[in-house]
Structure 1
Amino acid sequence: MNESLSSEEKNIAVISYITLIGLIIAFVMNNDKKHAFPSYHIKQSLGLGLTGLALGVVGMIPILGWIVSFLGMFIMLYLWVVGLLNAINGKQKPVPFLGAKYEEWFKNN
């Protein structure tokens, strides 16, 4: 656990993983101070949300899309839990599989 993180930074990072509303709240809370740790987790959470949205769109395709979407949601649940645990434990690690891509996509934000 990183002891140099304030409880505010950890709280913002954790809030970012709690639904879309939590992501928006975390973004607003971090907007003034721009702490690096919560910003990192906000970007990871945003990536997970967009990936979930893409899976929802794929799920509109009959049969094959349903299967991909169904299996993808279990993977998304796993990624969400890993991201949330990283935030709780003060770790700035990308979520498995897609986390490095999220870092690349949102590096300028």
Structure 2
Amino acid sequence: MSESYAEQAQRARELLARSSPVAARAMRAREQEAARPRRVADKWRWTSIDRQAGEAIEAQARLVEVSPPAVEPEVDMEEERRRVSLALARMRARAERAARQNDKSESTT
């Protein structure tokens, strides 16, 4: 492991470039792109872009209308208890029906 990571990576790139013409072309294009001088954006350009973006945002119509939250109706505790007990009774009845049906199917086999 005397070779550094950079040297190993360079050797791998060279091997790949020799083995595949497409990879070699892609590597050359990447190197040319990296060597190209970059355009430096001026400070005034960014302030102009920020101003234009702000104007575009302000020009858009508001899509959401804010309304007060709906008031939840008062819950009658007795009615809620009856509703829950009825739901539980239905669940128990379904479970008993399913158990009886399973018993019948097992006894016929």
Q: Same fold (TM over 0.5)?
A: no
When normalised by structure 2's length, the TM-score is 0.27
When normalised by structure 1's length, the TM-score is 0.27
Q: Could you say which structure has the larger radius of gyration?
A: 2
The structure showing larger relative contact order (alpha-carbon pairs under 8 Å, at least 6 residues apart) is: 1
